[in-house]
Amino acid sequence: MEARIAYQTEAVRRSLRAAALSPYYQRRFLEHGVDPLRFEDLSELVEYPMLSKEDLILHRDAMLNQRIAASSRLYMSTGGSSGVPVGFYLHKGVSRAKEQAYLEAQWRRRGYQSGDPTAVIRGAVTSRDSDGSVCYYDAGRNWLVLSSYHLTRERFPEYLSALNRFKPRHLHAYPSAALALARGMLERDAKLEFRFTSILCGSEKLSPESQTFLEAHFEAPVFHWYGHSERVVLAGQGRRSNHLYFWPGYGYVEFGPPNETSHREIIGTSFHNDVMPLIRYRTGDYVKIPDEIEGELPMTEVGEVVGREYEFLVSSNSRRVSLTAINMHDDIFEGLLAVQFFQSIPGLVEFRYQPGAHWRSARLVSIRDGLNAKLGEDFDLRLVEVKEVEKTAAGKHCWLLSRLGKEVIG
C-alpha cells in the first residue's frame, strides 16, 4: 500500500509539473492558487481544477507542454460517440505501447499469453462491398481479423468456416459482435470445432446478463474492461471477480458525488503523457459502487461502469453496424461542435453535423469517404448541416437518433 501511494504521488506530481508548462494550465493553476512544485500528498489534488470535455475542445492547443517537440505528439480523437468530437494529443511512442502492455497484462487473468492465436471482431473494414471478404490474417500479431460489418444470415457460414480453420484460443471482440456471433450460432444450431480459452470484450458496455450468456454459450470465461481513447484510467475484471479494478500505475482515479441514481462520475489524472497531461478529467462515464467489496486485487474497485446500450445502424440488406465500429479516432471531425446519426429507414442514414468557428466545408469530402468506408455499399449516406444537433430530454448529446422499430433493430 505504501509503495503504491508513493508511486502515485510521484506520478501525479510529474503530470502536474508537465501540465504547468502549458499556457492553459498555468493560468488555471494560478486562478486556483495551486503550485505543482509544492505538491506533496494525493489529498491535495482536490484543490486543483477539474477538466471537462468542453475545456478540451476550446483550449486543446493551449494545453500542450511547450517544452516537448511537436514530433512527439500523436493526435487522436474520441470519435464522437458522445455526440461531441473531442481531439487531444498522446505521447508518441509511449501512450499506445503502454496501453497494449496493460491490456495484455489484464487479459492474462483469463488465460491469455502474448502471441496466442486470436480472432478479432472490432470494427476492422475487410471490404466495403457487401459481398467482399469477411476476414484477413495479421501475421505480425497472429490475429484472424473478422469484419464487424458482414455478420448477416447469408454470410454467417463464412465466419464459422474461417474460425474453424484458424482455431483461435481467444475471441477479442466488441460485446455486441460477440453476442451477434453467439446468437447466429444458436439460430443455426451451429458448433465450433474448438473451444475458446477466453472471450475478451471491451469498448462497449457488457451487462452481467450478457456476460453470463456468452460464458454459457462459448463455455469459456469472459474478460471485460473499461478504458477510453484519452487513456487516462483503465480498469479490468479480476481473476475470479467480475468487479472492475482500476490499475494504480496507469492513472489516478477519483469519483464524483453520487447523482440521482447513486452513480458516480469517473474523474482521472493521466500518467506518462508529458505532451498533454489530463488533470482531473471528467470522463462523462459513471460507475456503480458495489454494496460489498470483494477485494480480490489491491486496487480501487467498482461494481460496473454504467454506459450506453448497444447502438446500431441497419443497412438495406439488414446488416446491423455497431456505432462503436464506426468511431473515428483521427481528425476527420475537426472543426465540428457536435455530430449525430439519424435513421428512420433501413439503409438510409443522415449524418448531422454542427459546425464550429474553425470549420472548413472542404472537410466534407474526407468525412463522406471515411464514413462510407465504414458503412459499406448498402447504405445511402447523406450529410446534413444543422444549427444544433438534437439532444435528450436531459439536454445531453447523443450519438444516434434511431426511429427504426424494435423488429428492425433486433
Q: Would you list the domain boundaries of the chain?
A: 2-99+227-306, 312-409
Confidence bin at 82 (pLDDT 50/70/90):
low
Q: Give the mean pLDDT of 163-180.
A: 94
Predicted confidence (pLDDT) at residue 349 exceeds the cutoff of 60: yes
The answer to whether the predicted template modeling score (pTM) of the entire model surpasses 0.85 is no
Residues 6 or more apart whose Cβ sits within 8 Å of residue 375: 149, 313, 315, 321, 326, 349, 381
Confidence bin at 395 (pLDDT 50/70/90):
low
Residues 6 or more apart whose Cβ sits within 8 Å of residue 203: 122, 174, 227, 324
The torsion region of residue 93 among left (phi > 0), alpha (psi -120 to 50) and beta comes to: left
Q: Give the mean pLDDT of 68-81.
A: 85
Please give the single-letter amino acid code of residue 340.
Q
Render pLDDT for 185-218 as a digit per residue (tens, 0 to 9): 998 899 999 999 999 999 888 888 999 999 999 9
Q: Give the mean pLDDT of 349-362.
A: 88
Confidence bin at 308 (pLDDT 50/70/90):
low
Of residues 174, 246, 154, 241, the one with CA closest to residue 214: 174
Residue 315 contacts residue 376 (beta carbons within 8 Å): yes
Predicted confidence (pLDDT) at residue 408 exceeds the cutoff of 60: no
The answer to whether domain 2-99+227-306 and domain 312-409 are alike in fold is no
Predicted confidence (pLDDT) at residue 409 exceeds the cutoff of 50: no
Predicted confidence (pLDDT) at residue 341 exceeds the cutoff of 60: yes
Lowest-pLDDT choice from 81-95, 294-308, 377-391: 81-95
User: What's residue 246's pLDDT?
Assistant: 98
Domain made up of 312-409: CATH architecture: 2-Layer Sandwich (3.30)
Q: What's the CATH fold of domain 2-99+227-306?
A: Rossmann fold (3.40.50)
| CA pair distance 401, 232, nearest whole angstrom | 29
Q: Which three cell numbers stand for residue 39?
A: 505538491
User: What's residue 307's pLDDT?
Assistant: 65
Predicted confidence (pLDDT) at residue 339 exceeds the cutoff of 60: yes
Q: What is the 3-state secondary structure (H, E, C) of 302-344?
A: ECEEECCCCCEEECCCCCEEEHHHHCCCCCCCCCEEEEEEEEE
Please give the single-letter amino acid code of residue 234.
L
Render pLDDT for 92-142 as a digit per residue (tens, 0 to 9): 999 999 999 999 999 999 999 999 999 999 877 787 776 788 999 999 999
Predicted confidence (pLDDT) at residue 378 exceeds the cutoff of 50: yes
Predicted confidence (pLDDT) at residue 167 exceeds the cutoff of 50: yes
Predicted confidence (pLDDT) at residue 377 exceeds the cutoff of 80: yes
| CA pair distance 172, 146, nearest whole angstrom | 10
| Percentage of the chain modeled with pLDDT above 70 | 94
Confidence bin at 330 (pLDDT 50/70/90):
confident
User: What's residue 329's pLDDT?
Assistant: 65
**In the predicted model, what is the mean pLDDT of the chain?**
90
Residues 6 or more apart whose Cβ sits within 8 Å of residue 364: 383
| Percentage of the chain modeled with pLDDT above 90 | 63
